[in-house]
Amino acid sequence: MRWIEVDTYQEMSLKAADCFEQQLLQKPDSVLGLATGGSPIGLYEELVKRYKQRVFSFSQVKTFNLDEYVGVSPADVTSYHSYMEEHLFSQVDIEKNDIHIPNGLAPNLQEECVRYEQLILQSGGIDLQLLGIGVNGHIGFNEPGTSFQSKTHVVTLADDTRAANSIYFPSKQEVPEYAISMGIETIMQAKEIILLAFGEQKMRAIERLKQEGISEDFPASRLKEHPNVTIIYGR
Ligand code: PGA
């Protein structure tokens, strides 16, 4: 694991953008694994800026998002479809057909999970996967206790997670209870992983990641067994 400590959120975003830039220059048809939440907003802003400066293009890129809420329409402002459209996709030249986000409205959620996992495999696998980390150590929506062998699956969101995400909803009661998430094994199959964490509330999770052993009680700890992970963090 490579640890990069930064002083500001902006510095974290620029360093992460440098990793994406390197990836896209080396392989313009990269398969990117993307994340939502507060951590990557600055990174996406910077990627849009560099795209507009013609440093790189998204025209050959394929993307797979980590997760989506169950029961939330893609058109709803609280969906991760909307988040991605707002912060990245509407501002760059990515082909609509190359964007993949789990369908939380699929009539058969189990089939949707299998379909998503197969699409990732058919694309040749994820070259660079972006992650945040939950205060409880979740990655994607893989909450404590999730099997390290998990593939894309339906998850029940932890109370901590619903509380943290309630800032995006009118009330905590309206935060969905379920989501579809790439599994821990799905994430581990990415060739390279970057995890972003900024702010005091994330530092306990970062300290645990540094100090504790590998255990399903702390999902991010599994990343210690991945050969190419960079953690960019600060308080
Ligand atoms: P955040 O969420 O980027 O909004 O802090 C990260 C996560 O919970 O995985």
Residues 160-187: tens digit of each pLDDT: 899 999 999 999 999 999 999 999 999 9
Q: What's the 143 CA to ligand 1 centre distance in angstroms?
A: 12
Alpha carbons 117 and 127: distance in angstroms, whole number? 15
pLDDT of residue 83: 98
The ligand 1 atom nearest the CA atom of 36:
3
Q: What are 117's two structure tokens?
A: 């996992």
Ligand 1 contact, 37 CB (< 6 A): yes
Q: What is the pLDDT of residue 204?
A: 97
Q: How far is the CA of 55 from the centre of ligand 1 (A)?
A: 28
Among residues 98, 127, 136, 153, the one annotated as catalytic is 136
- In sign, the C-alpha dihedral spanning 71, 73, 79, 80 is positive
pLDDT tens per residue, range 27-64: 999 999 999 999 999 999 999 999 999 999 999 999 99
138 is catalytic: yes
Ligand 1 site, residue 132, Cβ cutoff 6 A: yes
The CB-based long-range contact list for 5-11 (8 Å cut-off, 24+ gap) reads 5/233, 5/234, 6/198, 6/232, 6/233, 6/234, 7/234, 8/234, 9/42, 9/198, 9/199, 9/234, 10/42, 11/234
- Residue 125 CA to its chain's centroid (Å): 15
Give pLDDT, residue 26.
Answer: 98
- Domains defined along the chain, listed by start: 2-218+229-234 (3.40.50.1360)
Mean pLDDT confidence for 96-116: 98
136 is catalytic: yes
Could you report the per-residue pLDDT of 137-159, keeping only the tens digit for each?
999 999 999 999 999 999 999 99
pLDDT per residue over 217-230, tens digit each?
A: 999 999 999 999 99
Residue identified by tokens 């694994």 is 33
For residue 198, the CA-to-ligand 1 centroid distance in Å is 9
Q: Answer yes or no: is the C-beta of 134 below 6 A from any ligand 1 atom.
A: yes
Distance 36 CA to ligand 1 centre (A): 7
66 lines ligand 1 (CB under 6 A): no
Q: Cα(195) to centroid of ligand 1, in Å? A: 10
Q: Is 143 a catalytic residue?
A: yes
Q: Which of 87, 100, 138, 153 is catalytic?
A: 138
The pLDDT value recorded for residue 139 is 98
Active site residue 18: no
Q: How confident is the model at residue 3 (pLDDT cuts 50, 70, 90)?
A: very high
* 166 Cβ below 6 A of ligand 1: no
- Any ligand 1 atom below 6 A from CB of 219: no
Supply the mean pLDDT for the chain. Answer: 98
